[in-house]
Amino acid sequence: MAKAILKVKNLNVEFDGHKVLDDISFVVDKNDTLAIIGPNGAGKTVLFKCLLGLLPYDGKVEWDKNMKVGYVPQKLYVDNDLPLTVGEFLGFREKDARKAIEVLKQVGFSSDELEKDGSGQLLQSKRLGVLSGGELQRVLIAFALIGNPNVLLLDEPTSGVDVSAEETVYTLTDRLKKESGLTVIFISHELGIVYKHATSVLCLNKEKICFGPPSEAIDEEKLKELYGESVNFHYHEEVH
């Protein structure tokens, strides 16, 4: 049996008396890819922050010893004209520019974009504000990878990213898993992505609606419960 690297037990979070997470329990095994799905305001990001220890909570979040968690935020809330280059941003964590280049290659940037003999502006000297959604996403993943994590937490990597770039991000995480044995936990809205890339899924709407392998855990009933009936197209057609 695979080894559990994360155990969450009876996790409860309240903001000003409002329950945001209600008695959540689940287990993540080594090399799993866990997708967390749920409607807006379901507490997905709050759950992530609890896993990262950024928010106070009741209950237990237990990481296995020696787990290094890399966090990839949803996006950066920076001005477009923020004078901060990709190279400087990665330099916050990695002084050696050559190592930064290696990691950027790992997340799919080409030598042309990163090394001097290529034509055009180097990626490292571009400002964060001018990157496309997909490029920024990959830079953020690179930032997380610099810490040599064995767990990667990706928050809603689909938002603001076009479909092809989104596909790249998940193909990339799949490849990284194969190369370095990563465990991945990601928040997603796309059921297609969940079926294709996740080994297990946690449906969240303040409380745990379902948990397990996607093909077993998700069914129409659960989706109705999760997103509300109006979101279900089949049901919609029958009503009108």
Which positions touch other proteins (CB under 8 A)?
49, 52, 54, 69, 71, 73, 76-78, 81-85, 88-89, 91-93, 125, 127-128, 130, 143, 147
Instruction: For the CB of residue 209, give the shortest distance to other proteins in the complex, in Å.
Output: 26
CA distance 114 to 104: 8
Instruction: For the CB of residue 146, give the shortest distance to other proteins in the complex, in Å.
Output: 9
Instruction: Find out whether 35 and 13 touch, Cβ atoms under 8 Å.
Output: no
Residue 131's contacts (CB-CB under 8 Å, 6 or more residues apart) are 86, 139
CA distance 216 to 159: 26
Residue with smaller CB distance to other proteins, 4 or 78: 78
Instruction: For the CB of residue 158, give the shortest distance to other proteins in the complex, in Å.
Output: 18
Residue with smaller CB distance to other proteins, 27 or 122: 122
Residue with smaller CB distance to other proteins, 66 or 215: 66
Instruction: For the CB of residue 227, give the shortest distance to other proteins in the complex, in Å.
Output: 26
Residue with smaller CB distance to other proteins, 122 or 172: 122
The arrangement of strands across the sheet holding 207-212 comes to: 58-63, 4-15, 18-29, 207-212, 200-205, 33-37, 183-187, 151-154, 69-72
Query: Cα–Cα–Cα angle for 154, 204, 152, nearest 5°?
Result: 15
Query: Cα–Cα–Cα angle for 23, 28, 29, nearest 5°?
Result: 155
Instruction: For the CB of residue 57, give the shortest distance to other proteins in the complex, in Å.
Output: 15
Residue with smaller CB distance to other proteins, 57 or 143: 143
Distance of alpha carbon 235 from its chain centroid, rounded? 31
Residue with smaller CB distance to other proteins, 81 or 237: 81
Instruction: For the CB of residue 27, give the shortest distance to other proteins in the complex, in Å.
Output: 22
Kindly give the pairing relationship between strand 151-154 and strand 58-63: unpaired
